[in-house]
Amino acid sequence: MKSKFNYAVFIGCFWVMNSIAQKKQNVYFLKDNGQYVNIRDSADFTRIVQEPDSGSVLYNVMEYYPNGNIKLIGKSSAVNPVKLEGQMVRFYPDKNKKQVAYYENGYISGAVYDYYPNGKIYRALEYIDDKNRSMELKRMGKEELVHTVYDSTGTELVKNGNGNYLVYNEDFKLVEEQGDVKDGKRNGSWKGVMRKNKIAYTEDYLDGKFIKGTSSDENGNTQNYTVKEALPSFKGGERAFGNYLGQNIRYPATAKNSNIQGRVILSFTIEKDGSLTDIRILKNVNYDIDAEAYRVMKQSPKWNPGLQHGVPVKVAYTMPINFSLN
């Protein structure tokens, strides 16, 4: 138990002891974009990862707003980064419930209930596996089924999976997408906007399946597309990326002589042009191994960028790199 927690300790993380429950726990200070910071006053929220309860293998995860109110309660199969498992509850800063969701292996799975800031229910969704989806889409998450949707006064807009569905932004101030659902799935013409990228789009669906779309930017330039979303990818695929690592990683002599091995977890941003920026070490092994992992990703050729509604977008990415002497 102790060694597992020690392995996760790095800058921005501190050992503390819960004086009541006598449970060891890690405390992390984070920004909303996932960046770790060293002090509480610089953080948007605080995350506490506590050792499992008796008879459980899952760590307790709690997040708090700067005002001390609870932000999230859940369970995780890992210390850092967390990998949520089972029921998770999120809250607004004023303590109103924001979301109740269920996770498997770090991904939403099953029932999800979202709430308006005023405490009223917004929607009830379900995330399911679809054997007909491509592997690429499966990696992006399970298929969404819409059961019920309400407006902020409690009027039902979608009933038993049928009706007009309004998709809001994070703070419920703007409608990002709107269209009809039939039997829980998108159907017909949908309209939406990507305000950050100043893109408007129209998309056609049939029984939940995306057919085609057209996007336009602020200058009136239009683009037709048949691929709605795609994750970033190394050019040539996973095998090509493995070859790149194998040909370019130089195992640090100091680590080799000391028989030091382990997995470095990095985060980085894949820009619209496929270049990698903002490379950071999320989970370290030792200085030399961390530096080598950083170097090889810094020198990586451009990737295929991620796509949303047919448009290249910036995507935050997390990547483990194993260093083994076997």
Helix/strand/coil for 197: coil
**Least confident residue range of 30-39, 149-158, 278-287:** 30-39
pLDDT band at 141 (very low <50, low <70, confident <90, very high): low
As a whole number of angstroms, the distance between CA 77 and CA 39 comes to 26
The pTM assigned to this predicted structure is 0.76
- Mean of the per-residue pLDDT values of the chain: 89
CA distances from 140 to 106, 127, 229, 238 (A): 12, 12, 9, 16
Alpha helices by DSSP H, 113-259? 135-139, 238-248, 253-257
pLDDT band at 236 (very low <50, low <70, confident <90, very high): very high
Q: What is the pLDDT of residue 305?
A: 96
- Residue 286 reports pLDDT greater than 90: yes
Residue 252 structure tokens: 């640090």
pLDDT band at 143 (very low <50, low <70, confident <90, very high): confident
- Residue 303 reports pLDDT greater than 80: yes
- Domains of the chain with bracketed CATH: 1-88 (no CATH), 106-226 (no CATH), 238-323 (3.30.1150.10)
pLDDT tens per residue, range 59-112: 999 999 999 999 999 999 999 889 999 999 999 999 999 999 999 989 888 899
The Cβ of residue 255 has, within 10 Å, a number of other Cβ atoms equal to 20
Q: What is the pLDDT of residue 86?
A: 96
pLDDT band at 283 (very low <50, low <70, confident <90, very high): confident
Element spanning 279, H or E: strand 276-283
